[in-house]
Amino acid sequence: MGQKLTKQDVRDAVQHAFEQTKAVSGGKNADYIPYLANVPSDLFGIAVCLPDGEIIAAGDTEYKFGIESVSKVPTAILTMNQYSPEEVLTKIGADATGLPFNSIMAILLDLRKTLTTQGEICVLDQAIERVEYKRLGFVTDKGEINYFRYNNAYLDERLKMLYRYPAILHKAYCRSGAFKVVSKAEYAAYTDNDRKVLDDKTRLKSERITLLFTIFSRICLSSKSYDIEFLKELQREYALYYDAYNMIGLRKVRELNFVDSDVRTEIKRVKFLKQATDKSVINEVYAAFAPNTVYKTSEINSKMKAIFDSYSIEYDRRGVGNSIMLYFEATEARTGTKRTWKLGAKKFQSVT
C-alpha cells in the first residue's frame, strides 16, 4: 500500500517546489495577446486545491493571472456533465486543423461549410485566396491541407493576410466564436503591397488614387472593423484626396484627370456651395435683402462679406457680390461709375 500524504506533507512539497523554482527567470511573456505581454514577469505562485476544498499556496497567489487554455479543461467537464461526452464530440469534433491555434485559414475553411448562398461562398473564397498559407500551397483548391508542405515549412511563421476583404474575416471570427481580435494587424485597412503601390511614384497616378479611394471606402464604411490609426495616417499624407473622397467623389476626380489644382478648386467650390446654402445662411441673406429691389453693388458686397464671415465660410473676396445670384434671380447693371444689382424672385424658400 502506498504512503498516505498528510496536509502538512502537501504544504512542505508546495513550499519546497516554490523555493527551488522562484529564482528561475528564463523565457519571456507571450506577446500575441496584449494582456499577457503586460503581466509582470517576476510574478510566480503555486496553489494546490485539496479534495475538501482547502487551498495550499505559496508565492504571488493573490494576483489574478490569465489562465488561458487551462480554462478549456473545466469548461469541457462542465459541458459534458450538462450534455454528454458523445453529444459534445458530435457538435465540436476532435480533429485538429493542422494550422496554428490562431489561424484565420482554419476559421475560414470551417465557416465555408456553413454558407448556403453562392454570393457568400464566392466572397469567402476570395478571402481564402489571399491567405498566405493558401498562396504557399499549404491548402489545396478543395480546401484540404497539404500536410507535407505545411509540416516542412517554418512552423512558427505567423499567419499573414492580404486584407482585401477584412469585413469577411471579421464576420468569420464572429460566427465561429473564435477569440476576440486585438492586434492592429487584424484590423489593417491595407496591406504592405497596397502601401507600396501608394508610395510608388512611377505608377500611374490614376491607379494610386483609385486604390486610395478604395481604402478610404473600406475604412469609412466599416469603421468598427479597422484600427483608426490607418485612417489618420492616410489623412495626413493624402489630405487633398481625403477631402475629395468626402466632397466630390472618385468619378469627379477622374473627370478632372487627377490634376491636383483642379481637384482642389472643385473641392473649394463644392464646399462653398454646401456652406452657403445652409438654412441659417439662407435665412440671414433673405433678412438682409428683399426681392424685387435694387441695391448698390458696394452694399451687396459689404453685407455678403459680413454674413459669410460670421459663418466662417471661405469665399472669393473679389467676386463675393456675385454670390447673391445663389439666392435671387439677379442682374447687375452699370450706369457710368455706378454699379447696382436688381434682385428678382428668391431661389429658396425661407427655411425655419
pLDDT in tens, 300-327: 999 999 999 999 998 888 888 889 999 9
DSSP state of 314: -
> What would the grid cell of residue 201 be?
511614384
Contact present, 250 and 213 (Cβ < 8 Å) = yes
Q: Is the pLDDT of residue 173 over 50?
A: no
pLDDT of residue 250: 93
pLDDT at 216 over 80: yes
Report whether pLDDT(160) > 70.
no
Helix (H) or strand (E) holding 248: none
Cell of 219: 475604412
Extract the C-alpha cell encoding 159: 499567419
Summarize pLDDT for 220-231 with one digit per residue, the tens.
Answer: 776 555 666 677
Whether 74 has a pLDDT exceeding 50, the answer reads yes
Rounded CA separation 257/179 (Å): 46
Q: What is the pLDDT of residue 30?
A: 77
C-alpha cell at 74: 473545466
Give 138's pLDDT tier (boundaries 50, 70, 90): low
Give the separation between CA 251 and CA 257, rounded to whole angstroms: 10
